[in-house]
Every structure is written in C-alpha cells, then in structure tokens.
Amino acid sequence: MVSAVDCRTMTSALSRREILAKCAALGSLTVAASILLPTVLSAWEEKEKSRIPTPWNELGPFYKRRAPRTSTLRVSGDPGLPLTVSGQVFDTRGQRVPNATVEVWQTDHLGHYDINGYRYRSTLICDDSGKYAFDSVMPGHYPQRVCQHIHYLASAEGHKPLTTQLYFATDPVFEGDPDKNFRRDPLIGSRDLVRPVSIGGDPKSILASVAFEIVLERL
Amino acid sequence: MTGAMLAIALSVSLTTPSPVTSLMMPRNAKIAAGLCRDRQVRVWSMPDAKLLRTFAVTKEQIALTAISDDGRWIMVSDYRGSVVVYDSSTGQPQLEQHIDHYVTAAAFSRDSRLLAIAPGNERVRIIDVAAKRVTELEHSVFIGALAFSSDGKSLAAADGDGVRIFDTATGRRVSRNDDFVMSPLTVDFTADGKQAIAAGAEKVVVFFDAASGKTLRRAVITDKPVFYVGVAPDSKQLLLATFDADNMDLPTPVVICEVESLLKIVQWTPPASVVGGTWTPDSHLIVATADKDAVSLWQVR
C-alpha cells in the first residue's frame, strides 16, 4: 500500500515536463495534431512559471537620485519600529533578474522625508539571483497620504523600469482588513502592493519584516 | 520684500455650499470653476462672482483637474482611470477616456485645442479635444508635470530624472535636461518658447534652452520646495508657489521674481493654503485660497 506521503515523493521525482509527456502518452492530455508535443510542453511550462508584473504606483514628489548604496537605512538609536524588507526581482516569465537596481525611499517613523540629505534613501543592487534586502524603520504617516509606504524605483537592462510603492497590512488605516479597506488610500490601485508583516525578535527588541517580490516587464 | 509692503487685495469672494478643494481659473479670467467636496463643479462668472452653473462629476476620488486658457474645457480625472473633459458652458462631457492607472499630470495648450495627459506609467498622450485625435509621445513615463509652449509646438514633460522637450506634431523628443537631483515637479516655458523653467522639492530653479536642453541658469530663489512655476504673459515675471515638505496643508509663501534678474518682487504667505490661481492677460496674479464656505481670490500683483 502506498501512503499519501509516498505518492507525493513519487510525483516529485518526475519533472513537470515528464509528467505532461506521460499524460500525453497515456491519453490524459490530448494535443492537436498540428502542434508538436515538445512545443506544447514548453509553452505549458512557460505559462505555469509566468508572473504578473508588479503594479505601478506613482513616483511621488520626493524622489532623489544618487542615493547611497547601502542596505542599512536604520542606524543605531533610530526611533521607530525596526523593519527589514527583503525580496527578489523576477521577470514576467518567472526568471530571476540578476543585478537589478532597486532604489528605495521613505519617511522616518514620524512621516518626514529627508529632502536635504539621504536619510532613509538607498540604491540597492540585487545579487546574482535577483535578491535584495535592507534594514529600516516602519515609515510614519503624514498629511496628504493616507497610508504608510516605501517608494520603489526598480530597473534592469532589457526591462521596463517600474515605480511602485510597498504598503503594510498592519497599517491602522486598514483596520486589520486590507482586503476590504485597501482603497482607503486612493493611490493603492492594487491589493497586491499591501504586504503582510511578520514580527520577530523578543518583547524587548521586536523586529518587523516584510517580503516584497518585484516582477519587471521585459522591453 | 514682504506682503505687508505690497498692494495685495482681496478682490472677490465666491460662496459655496460645499468646500472647494481645487479652483480652476483660465488665463482669460472670465470664469472660475471650483471642484467641491460634494463632487460638483461650480462655475462662476468673473469678476462679478455670479454662480452660472453646477454639474456633477465622478463619485470617485479626484486625482487631477485642469482648465483650458479660454475657460471652455474642464478636465477632471479620478484615481480609477476616468478622464473626462467637460464643456464649462454646458457642463456636458465633450471627451471621455479610460486609462489603466490615473493621470499624474495634465496641461492644455495655450490655444485650448490640445490636452496633454500623463496616464500613470503609460506614455504621454496629446489629445485634440475637438477632433478627439490622440498622439503618443515616445519615452515619456513617470511624468509629474506637463506644459505646452505658447505656440503649442513643444511640450515639456518633467519626470524622475529631469525634463524632456517634445515636438507635439511628431511626438518625438527634441531635448532633455537632467540637471536635477530631485525630480522636478513643475515646468513652464518663457513666452517666446525658447527657454523652459523647472523646479521641485530640491528648491533649485533651473532655466534651460528648450532646443538643446543646455542649462542656462540655476538659482535658489526660495528656501521652500516649489510645486508650481508659471511665467507671466509679459514674460518678465515668474511665479513660484511653494510647499512645506512636512505638511502640505500649511500655507507657504507665494513668490514672484523678475525673470531677468531673479530678484524677488513679492513674497506673500496667504492666510490659507492655495487652491488655485492664474496669471491674467495683463500679467496680474490672482491667487485663490479656500475655507469651508467660500473661496477668496487675492490680487497679488
């Protein structure tokens, strides 16, 4: 007798392509005579890996070029909730985009942008697998904008540059229900930009963390 | 020089049952159109401040409004991507577009024939309002401000890196100036169209040659970030409307300087935040402030 666990082990031993080829051979998958099976399998795989581009959000009035290349936006003693943001940059075919440039800027915990210097601003270069991360603080609220947010400008050779903004599911504006309330900030055109927040550390030193994946369109 | 030393007069008061969030004034100064909290546009004749008509617009949150220089067209766009141009004399829609995102910048040409809109991260569109014909500009995304030259042949588009000048007939880029560290938020042309002037949160005002993109002058005229620059019809005066980066609701100075010398002629802090204004044809500046019951129009110069 084969247990459910064993079933999963057996199927994972075969690649997606091998499974589909087997389905075609056994008649579970019917392919039009005019199309070659390998072509169909490649297209199927492409579709399964494909990703929706990260929704656009506007640049805003406080973008500043030439931000320093640092992943440490929060320095020792900074007030506010410590926050780590990490993610990976992909293209719409699901392939990692190595060495993409991700510029981020945000307010301090009280909702003030530094327009004279470069506090809470950074230019991040993704690693070979498209990963990025930075340490910061939870941005504050300020007049004219409803929600806490971090601005992004992501670019990579051969891809369409993207401006967007990251929002936090814990924002009090959402009253615990971002699905229902995300449009309270009219600039949030997509629920996908509101990300869950994980809290770790210990009660004396808690740390919030957020994952934000970015998907760029190819040119 | 301070406002107290100048003849700044309250010229007109427009009463309204719903607070005005944005007052649109055409350069001919014959009407004023207020977008009100109740999602109605109220149109007053000027200078007698008589309410001419009221018409309803979108129920969604408004992203941007604009009015043509002759006062005929009023554009209202919302955050759901609706863009509607109304005929101010009837309140009827003349043109409706739907875009994927929302408009981040808009401008009418001086002859009121063309409307340029920046639809989110899509390319800028120039729309012939009467003919409803659309031209797209190349390489024009992340736009924060748009302005036509007086003859309508050029369009300036401010983006994250600087300002690009386009030929409106072909949609092709003519020049580019990226002499900014922070993204410019506003742009205008001198009356002869030879120079463009741009500014933003970094407080520096950049004058550049529209044909080549080469910087001609850079100057810090005010210690506040600038959200609007506008050249007077006489081409001798330049308006800088400023904002407070920490609280954009706070009233901040309106500055007029001489284009030639960059000397300040006026620096005046209005009693409330500015909701609109315009240069009149004879180069007087009208600035609008609002409270919940009325809009006050100030002749600043």
pLDDT one-digit tens code per residue, B217-231: 999 999 999 999 999
Q: How far is CA A46 from the centre of its chain?
A: 20
Region A172-192: what's the mean pLDDT? 94
Contacts of B180 in chain A (CB under 8 A): 65
Provide the pLDDT confidence category of residue A215 given band limits of 50, 70 and 90: very high
Residue A4 distance to chain B (closest CA, Å): 46
Q: SS3 breakdown of chain A: % helix, strand, coil, rounded to 5? A: 20, 30, 50
Q: How many beta-carbon contacts under 8 Å exist across A and B?
A: 66
CA atoms of B198 and A105, how far apart (whole Å): 23
Residues of B in contact with A112 (CB under 8 A): 245-246
A61 contacts B225? CB cut-off 8 A: yes
Where residue A115 falls among pLDDT bands split at 50, 70, 90? very high
The total number of residues shown for chain A amounts to 219
* For testing contact with chain A, the best of B39, B142, B203, B242 (most A CBs within 10 A): B142
CA of B183 to nearest chain A CA: how many angstroms apart?
6
Locate the chain B residue with the closest alpha carbon to A65. Answer: B181
Nearest CA in chain A to B60: A186
Rounded distance, CA A166 to CA A27, Å?
Answer: 46
Question: What ipTM, to 2 d.p.?
Answer: 0.88
What's the pLDDT score for residue A167?
98
Contacts of B158 in chain A (CB under 8 A): none
pLDDT tens readout for residues B23-59 = 999 999 899 999 999 999 999 999 899 999 999 999 9
Q: What confidence tens digit (pLDDT) does each residue in A31-78 have?
A: 777 777 788 777 777 777 789 999 999 999 999 999 999 999 999 899
Answer whether A61 sits within 8 Å of B160, measured CB to CB: no
pLDDT (0 to 100) of residue A160: 92
Contact B63 A61 (CB under 8 A): no
Instruction: Measure CB to CB from residue B246 to each of A66, A112, A163 and give the nearest one.
Output: A112
A65 vs B61: CB contact, 8 Å cut-off? no
Which of A154, A149, A128, A152 has its CA nearest to residue A138?
A149
**In this complex, do B249 and A143 lie within 8 Å of one another by their Cβ atoms?**
yes
Task: Using DSSP, state whether A107 is helix, strand or coil.
Answer: coil
Residues of B in contact with A113 (CB under 8 A): 245
Q: Which residues of B touch A153 (CB under 8 A)?
A: 160
Q: Using CA atoms, how far apart are residues A171 and A146, in angstroms rounded to an integer?
A: 10
Rounded to a whole number of angstroms, the distance from the CA of A181 to the nearest CA of chain B is: 15
Q: What is the mean pLDDT of residues B237-248?
A: 92
| Type of residue found at B166 | F
CA distance B203 to B187: 13
Ordered DSSP codes for B209-244: ETTT--EEEEEE--SS-EEEEEE-TTSSEEEEEE--
CA distances from A64 to A160, B157, B200 (A): 20, 17, 11
Q: Do A61 and B202 touch (CB under 8 A)?
A: no
User: Could B248 and A144 be called an inter-chain contact, meaning their C-beta atoms sit closer than 8 Å?
Assistant: yes
pLDDT above 90 covers what percent of chain B? Answer: 79
Name the strand (E) or helix (H) holding B180: none
Given pLDDT bands bounded at 50, 70 and 90, which one contains residue A5? very low
Give Cα B137 distance to the centre of its chain: 20
The number of angstroms, rounded, from the C-alpha of B20 to the middle of its chain's C-alpha atoms is 17
Give the mutation candidate from B140, B246, B248, B273 for the A interface (greatest A CB count, under 10 A): B246
CA distance A59 to chain B (A): 6
Cβ-defined contact of A144 to B249 (cutoff 8 Å): yes
- Chain B residue numbers with beta carbons less than 8 Å from the beta carbon of A162 are 121
Q: Name the pLDDT band for B260 (thresholds 50, 70, 90).
A: very high
Q: Mapped to the 3 state alphabet, what secondary structure does B59-102 carry?
A: CCCEEEEEECCCCCEEEEEECCCEEEEEECCCCCEEEEEECCCC
- Residues of A with Cβ-Cβ distance to B181 under 8 angstroms: 64-66
> Is it the case that residue B267 has pLDDT exceeding 70?
yes
Chain A residues lying within 8 Å of B202, measured CB to CB: 64, 115
| Inter-chain touch A61–B61, beta carbons under 8 Å | no
Query: CA-to-CA distance for B193 and B110, rounded, in angstroms?
Result: 12
* Contact criterion met (CB < 8 Å) for A115 and B225: yes
A187 neighbourhood in chain B, CB within 8 Å: 79
**Token duo for residue A129:** 């697998």
Whose CA is closest to B165, among B112, B211, B200?
A: B211
pLDDT of residue B203: 87
Interface of A with B (CB under 8 A): 56, 58-59, 61-66, 111-113, 115, 142-144, 153, 161-163, 186-187, 189
CB contact under 8 A, A59 and B183: yes
Average predicted confidence (pLDDT) for chain A: 89
Collect all residues of chain A within an 8 Å Cβ-Cβ radius of residue B183.
59, 61, 63-64
